[in-house]
A = this chain, B = another copy of it.
Amino acid sequence: MKKILSVTQFLLNGLRKHENIRCLHTGYISHQKQFVLTKDRYPHIKRGNYTELNDNHVKFFKDLLGSDRVLTDPNDVQPYNTDWIKMVCGTLVCEAGCVLETLDQELEKHNLMMPLDLGAKGSCQIGGNISTNAGGLRFLRYGSLQGNVLGVEVVLANGEVLDCLNVLKKDNTGFHLRHLFIGSEGTLGIVTKAALQCPPRPKSIILAFLGVEDFESVLSTLKLAKEQLSETLSSCELIDAPSLDAVNKYLGIKSPIDEFPFYVLIETSGSDVNHDEEKLNVFLDKAMTRGIVIDGIVTNEPSKMQNIWQLRERIAEALLHTGAVYKYDVSLPVQHFYEIVPLLQNELKDTSATVVTGYGHIGDGNLHVNIAAEEYDQDLVNNVIEPFVFKWVSEKKGSISAEHGIGLKKTEFLHYSKTPEAISLMKKLKNLFDPSGILNPYKVLPLH
């Protein structure tokens, strides 16, 4: 009984939290802001042999655990969070329910930082970040969670607790099991604890917001930034004009520079402000002399930096004011990075779509394509947008999901980014880890 309990207990407290993360991550966000159950959001899903949670289940657990140990009220469940275990030499060990921003604030006391940062940091939890292999704004500098997660504790489908909570930077004893749970979206096991390596917190952060005339100059800016800023470069983000317009128009946030077709946001993080400034000045001097960058501002004042970051981080939120937004998140070879945006603008010009924007982590080859419309139109999605986007990305050898995962809605498109042999092996792994298919059903793998 104890073993099964471990899973179920977590499911009761944990599933809603996971759901909560997913709605920030997956597919298109509609204009609903309230928490909506999967069964309500996707009423047409063909349900397999799973029961629905009913009062008898809740009663069973209340009888077993005592009613004060089972949380059911959404207000109780949502902010439910767990606490620290320990932290030694740049290694953080925590429970899966810790909020990313809380972890980062705790690490600040030790002059350390989390190796990932994303717009949803105030609400997303590290267990969800790991299960979805979250990327984010500083991937360019600190790399992937596959590189930064040292260990995990996982509850398997059979109720067994798998302790791979290694805290050592190097451990080559046997297969590296933890990586199977990073990015498999809870379908192979449920992450309950994690150990991460955390870099030193930078003493100096400087932000530059630059106006650029064409996409070729964007690429030249990125190349020059890598060369000149090198070990201090911590972010390189692209914003196109329609994205910035939306943030201006719907959220009233002003750009600090004149209008350009493209804007590049460059952040440096280092240990010596004078050195970092000098490197940035050399970079800007070269970029402007060569005519790559036309205008720009540079600041290290926290409030000004926060304003500039909002121009990038709140694009998706701004576009929601138009009504509905179809969101895609793709990786592309950098030379093809922006091509898809004008192609889509042309493809959708006589449809209900009002704006097509492109922005994202150009330093990592990861583009967010957002299509805004007054109303959600499922036919447009199914017959026009998705066939076009996925086919085009696949032809350019990109990834149809760079950081947002597969979830429920992209399972049938997995073949655009993975070979039949790879999908077959994934299915065998799923069957090995979860033969009854009870872990996050309908997700990641296509049914057939």
Contacts and interface: CB of A to CB of B under 8 A. Distances in A.
Interface size class of A (residues with CB under 8 A): 35 or more
30 contacts: A89-B333, A89-B365, A143-B148, A146-B146, A161-B421, A162-B425, A163-B419, A164-B422, A166-B399, A167-B333, A168-B331, A168-B332, A169-B331, A172-B403, A172-B406, A173-B414, A174-B414, A174-B426, A175-B426, A175-B429, A176-B183, A177-B425, A177-B426, A179-B179, A180-B180, A230-B270, A271-B279, A272-B278, A275-B279, A429-B432
A259 interface: no
B188 A421 contact: no
Number of this chain's copies in the assembly equals 2
Interface in A132-187: 132-133, 135, 139, 143-144, 146-148, 156, 160-164, 166-177, 179-180, 182-184
B417 A173 contact: yes
Contact of A168 (B169, B170, B402): B402
A232 interface: yes
A444 interface: yes
A398 interface: yes
A57 interface: no
Interface string A209-239: 0000000000000000011111110000000
A163 B432 contact: no
A227 B230 CA distance: 19
Contacts of A173: 399-401, 405-406, 410, 414, 417-418
Contact of A146 (B147, B365, B445): B147
Contact of A174 (B167, B170, B406): B406
A166 B401 CA distance: 13
A404 interface: yes
A62 interface: no
